[in-house]
DNA sequence: TAATTACGGATATATTGTATCCATAAGGAT
DNA sequence: ATCCTTATGGATACAATATATCCGTAATTA
C-alpha cells in the first residue's frame, strides 16, 4: 500500500502557491517545470484540487491556479483527500459473515467488526495527524529549513513565469 | 491507496488462533473455510506471517499454524507489517531537487523534505495506533462484542477440524 | 482573430494486487 | 516401507489500479 505520486506533487504545488501573493496565479506548465513532473498528468491532480475547492483555476492567458482559501484554512489532510479520496485505507469485506457455523439473523451483525474498528481507528489517527498541519504552519517550517536566499530565488523564478 | 485483502485475512486468522489453546494448530484449509477465502491465496499471507515469526507452521498431517508468541506479545502492527511491508505509506521521490533554479551542492539537501517529514509523521501516528493493540487486547474486545454461545460454537467447530 | 489556459473524456502502458497451479520436503498413519 | 497430508516456495495467469499521454472544448486575453 502506497500513496500516489500525485499526493507529493499536489502538496508541493500547494506549498508553492502558499508562498506567493494570494492573487498571483501559476499555470500547470510552470508548476510542472518547477517540479520536473509531466505536465499533462500533474494537470489531473490540480483538477482534483480545484474540484475539492482547495485551489481556484481560471482560463485564458495569464490564467492558472491560486489557493481558493487562506493558507491557514487548508490542511494537509484536505490536499491528500482531494487527490487520494476519502475512503478508509482499510476495506472490510465482512469475512466474519462467511463463518460456516454462524447462524443467520444473529445479533452480532449490528455492530462493525472489532478488527475493522481498530483498523479504522488507526486510519483516523493518520488523518488527525494530517489535519493538524496547515499550509501556513508548513510555510513556517519551510522558512526555518531553507535559507532566505533560496526562498527568494524560487519566488522570483515563479513570479517571472506565472 | 488501500490495504490488501490479505491484511483483513491475516488479522482474523491471528485472532482465531489467539482464541485457541496455544499448542493447537489450524491448517490453511480450515482457516480458509472458516473465513470463506481462497485457500491457495490465504496460504501466501500465512507464509508471510510465518516468515515474520508471528505464527509457527509445521508440516505433515495434524500440522498447521499456531501463534509463535503469546497473544499479548503480538500487536496489530506486527501483523499488518508482515503482510503489507514496513515501508512508509508515503514515498518521497525528491521532486524538490528538480527545481530548475536550485544551485547544485546546496546545503538544503542534508535534511529530508519538510513535506515528507510531515507525511512520515502521520504514517508513524498510524503505526503507533496499531502498535497499541495486542491480540490479547483484541480478544477482550471480542468477548464483549460476541455472546459466549457464538464464541463457543466457533471454538468447537475449529477444534473439531484442526 | 489568434493564442493561451483550464477542463474533461478517451486511450495506452506500467505496476501492483489477486488468484491458481505445481514441485518439493517433511511429518504422521497404516 | 508406503501413502496421505501438510507447509513452503516458485512460476504463471488474470484483474485492478496507477501512471502517462492525447485530443476536443470552452473561456479568457491580447
Ligand atoms: S469482517 Fe472485515 S475486518 Fe472483521
Ligand atoms: S521532495 Fe518528496 S516530499 Fe518534498
Give the bridge partners for B57, in sequence order: B65
Question: Which nt has its C1' nearest the CA of A61?
Answer: C4
**Mean pLDDT taken over chain B:** 95
Torsion sign (Cα): B150, B155, B161, B162: positive
> Per residue in B88-113, pLDDT tens?
999 999 999 998 887 766 655 678 99
Q: Which of A159, A127, A134, A146 shows the shortest CA–CA distance to A15?
A: A134
Residue B20 carries which DSSP code?
A: S
Torsion sign (Cα): A147, A149, A150, A154: positive
Please state the pTM of the whole predicted model.
0.94
**Mean pLDDT taken over chain A:** 95
Closest Cα to atom 1, ligand 1: which residue?
A94
Q: Which pLDDT score, from 0 to 100, does residue B113 have?
A: 96
- Confidence at A15, pLDDT banded by 50, 70, 90: very high
Chain A 11-30 contacts with nucleic strand C (CB below 7 A): 27-29
pLDDT exceeds 80 at position A78: yes
Q: Which pLDDT score, from 0 to 100, does residue A110 have?
A: 73
Q: How far is the CA of B91 from the centre of ligand 1 (A)?
A: 28
Does A130 contact B at CB distance below 8 Å?
A: yes
pLDDT exceeds 70 at position A107: no
> Per residue in B79-90, pLDDT tens?
999 999 999 999
Say which range, B45-54, B75-84, B109-118, B125-134, has the weakest mean pLDDT.
Answer: B109-118
**Mean pLDDT of the B120-138 span:** 98
The secondary element (H helix, E strand) that includes residue B79 is: helix B76-84
**Mean pLDDT of the B62-76 span:** 97
Chain A 112-131 contacts with nucleic strand D (CB below 7 A): none
Highest mean pLDDT among A102-111, B103-112, B123-132: B123-132
> Per residue in A118-162, pLDDT tens?
999 999 999 999 999 999 999 999 999 999 999 999 999 999 988
Q: Which pLDDT score, from 0 to 100, does residue A32 have?
A: 98
Contact B76, B84 (CB under 8 A): no
Amino acid at each position: 500500500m502506497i500513496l500516489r505520486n500525485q499526493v507529493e506533487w499536489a502538496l508541493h504545488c500547494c506549498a508553492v502557491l502558499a508562498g506567493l501573493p494570494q492573487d498571483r496565479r501559476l499555470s500547470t506548465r510552470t508548476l510542472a517545470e518547477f517540479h520536473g513532473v509531466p505536465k499533462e498528468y500533474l494537470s489531473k491532480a490540480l483538477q482534483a484540487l480545484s474540484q475539492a475547492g482547495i485551489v481556484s483555476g481560471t482560463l485564458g492567458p495569464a490564467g492558472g491556479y491560486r489557493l481558493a482559501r487562506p493558507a491557514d484554512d487548508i490542511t494537509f489532510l484536505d490536499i491528500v483527500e482531494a487527490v487520494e479520496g476519502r475512503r478508509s485505507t482499510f476495506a472490510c469485506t465482512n469475512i466474519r459473515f462467511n463463518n460456516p457455523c454462524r447462524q443467520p439473523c444473529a445479533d452480532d451483525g449490528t455492530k462493525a467488526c472489532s478488527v475493522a474498528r481498530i483498523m479504522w481507528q488507526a486510519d483516523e489517527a493518520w488523518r488527525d495527524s494530517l489535519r493538524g498541519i496547515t499550509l501556513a504552519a508548513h510555510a513556517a517550517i519551510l522558512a526555518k529549513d531553507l535559507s532566505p536566499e533560496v526562498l527568494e530565488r524560487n519566488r522570483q523564478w515563479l513570479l517571472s513565469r506565472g
